[in-house]
Amino acid sequence: MTSTASVTEPSAAENGLLFVACDVDPAADEADFNRWYDREHVEERVRIPGFLSGARYVSLEGGRRYLGLYRTASLEVFRSAGYRAAFERQTPWSIANLDRMRDPIRRVCAVRAVTGFGSGSHIAVLPLAVASDAAALAERAAEAGRRLAEQPGFVQSFLLQPDIALSTPLPRESSEGRVLQPMLVVETSGADAARAARATAAAALDADPASGWLLALGWKLHAGELA
């Protein structure tokens, strides 16, 4: 990608995104957890009206071992009857694997300051300090995106700003001391590019690069691929 990448300003039509990260017990639960995610859960979520895509990532550095990102047409999708129904009709397989999640993180976010387009093979996730001025943070993230777009291997960057009311915790997620930090996500074409993007973004946004996650894409499903 080049610096011709577009920047999307915050608007009422901005995308939403569900961010779910967790660890699992590798000896007891990991194999079935991955089968459930790959054969049932991603497709089930992406079939909900208003969901655009679902993607799975595995951590190479930092964060939780597994991350799921689900893009939606808007935040309103998470208030819809279709989304509520997904929780009211949990399968036994889902119930079992939701209970296997360790140290889970669930955030429902507005997607802002989008720069670039497309999907990368790797992503950097950089937690940011909670800001009193969300619009100012989005502008800073957009400026960081313009810098990142000049780097080799850049694909896309965007700011995730959690919605407090919608970001209810998962069953095993502690609510004590829970801080809903905004996050910058940078998609790149390789691991080295993601590391470089993490460092650049941290410098631009006064964040600690050591707090950033580096993850590899497992697979991604788009709603348009489902019959």
Write down the pLDDT at residue 177: 86
Whether residue 208 is predicted with pLDDT greater than 80 in this model: the reply is: yes
Instruction: For the chain, give every domain's residue range.
Output: 7-225
Strands 213-222 and 122-127, bridge-based pairing: antiparallel
Rounded distance, CA 48 to CA 143, Å?
Answer: 33
Write down the pLDDT at residue 24: 97
Sign of the torsion formed by the C-alpha atoms of 182, 187, 224 and 88: negative
End-to-end alpha carbon distance in the chain: 31
The tokens describing 41, both together, are 């859960």
Write down the pLDDT at residue 13: 67
- Fold classification of 7-225 (topology level): Alpha-Beta Plaits (3.30.70)
What's the 3-state SS for the chain? CCCCCCEECCCCCCCEEEEEEEECCCCCCHHHHHHHHHHHHHHHHHCCCCEEEEEEEEEEECCCCEEEEEEECCHHHHHCHHHHHHHHCCCHHHHHHHCCCEEEEEEEEEEEEEEECCCCCEEEEEECCCCCCHHHHHHHHHHHHHHHCCCCCEEEEEEEEECCCCCCCCCCCCCCCCCCCCEEEEEECCHHHHHHHHHHHHHHCCCCHHHCEEEEEEEEEEHHHCC
Rounded distance, CA 105 to CA 54, Å?
Answer: 16
Whether residue 151 is predicted with pLDDT greater than 90 in this model: the reply is: yes
For residue range 83-135, list pLDDT tens digits in order.
999 988 899 999 999 999 999 999 999 999 999 999 999 999 999 999 999 99
Rounded distance, CA 1 to CA 28, Å?
Answer: 42
Instruction: Give me the mean pLDDT over the 161-186 stretch.
Output: 94
Provide the residue type at 220 as one letter.
K
Write down the pLDDT at residue 225: 98
For residue range 21-63, list pLDDT tens digits in order.
999 999 999 999 999 999 999 999 999 999 999 999 999 999 9
Write down the pLDDT at residue 171: 87
Whether residue 183 is predicted with pLDDT greater than 80 in this model: the reply is: yes
